[in-house]
Amino acid sequence: MEDITVAGVTIPAGDAIVTTFAAAGHDPPTTATPPRNSTRRAPRATTWPSVSVCTLHRRPLARMEAITALPALFERYEGLSLAVDPAELRQVPSFVAIGWEEIPIRLG
């Protein structure tokens, strides 16, 4: 084993490296608004050498659900708001998933 340098950062030989899918779609050179999830962002080809069948079907379905369900939810409950202070929200304890354990809301 030997040290490796990536983007000017040296990773010593033997150090653990944790990767995550959470960074997908957050590459500034390829995405105009990387930290923002948007259903309006045009789908683009993946840079992964292979993509699972599950991924190919889930991505368009999730996009369709978000485009359909979220506007309907916000239209039906115009006063929709968080029922707690945002600082009280707890993230899912995971290296792989990004999300909240729960999101308490007031329908308005």
Please count the structural domains in the chain.
Answer: 1
Q: For residue range 49-84, what is the model confidence (pLDDT) as tens digits?
A: 445 555 556 777 888 888 999 899 999 999 999 999
Is residue 41 domain-resident? no
Structural domain for 94, as ranges = 4-29+51-106
pLDDT at residue 35, rounded to an integer: 59
CA dist 29 to 8, 19, 34, 52, Å?
A: 17, 19, 9, 25
Average pLDDT over residues 9-28: 74
Helix/strand/coil for 81: strand
- Name which residue leads in pLDDT, 94 or 90: 90
pLDDT at residue 50, rounded to an integer: 47
Q: Taking the alpha carbons of 54, 57, 59, 65 in that order, is the dihedral positive or negative?
A: negative
| Tokens linked to 99 | 């999300």
Beta bridge pairs of residue 100: 91
Is residue 40 domain-resident? no
Is residue 91 domain-resident? yes
